[in-house]
């Protein structure tokens, strides 16, 4: 079995932007709003790709550090494993 090539964040963002353009007249407002939110999230991740990779390495190498950070009062770190 061959694995699919990974798509970059930029490619994913551009694909969603393309879908928004195609669905501008036919898709519902809720669908378009969700797609625009997805573009925003992908752009944020794209701009901070190195930070995201660093957190992924930290999660793999020392998950208790992220857990500790998420438990601080007023913590802005949340962990969602998917």
Q: Where are the beta strands (DSSP E) in the chain?
A: none
Q: Hey, CA dihedral for 59, 61, 67, 68, is it positive or negative?
A: negative
Residue 21 scores a pLDDT above 80: yes
Kindly indicate the confidence band of residue 79, based on its pLDDT and cuts at 50, 70 and 90: low
Question: What pLDDT digit, counting tens, does each position of 22-43 carry?
Answer: 888 888 888 889 999 999 999 9
Tell me, letter by letter, the H, E, C secondary structure of 6-23.
CCCHHHHHHHHHHHHHHH
């Amino acid at each position: 079995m061959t694995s699919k090539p990974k798509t970059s964040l930029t490619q994913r963002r551009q694909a969603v932007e393309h879908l928004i353009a195609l669905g501008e007249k036919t898709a519902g407002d809720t669908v378009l709003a969700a797609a625009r939110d997805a573009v925003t999230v992908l752009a944020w991740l794209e701009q901070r790709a190195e930070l995201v990779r660093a957190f992924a390495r930290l999660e793999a190498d020392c998950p208790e550090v992220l857990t500790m950070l998420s438990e601080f009062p007023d913590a802005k770190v949340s962990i969602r494993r998917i």
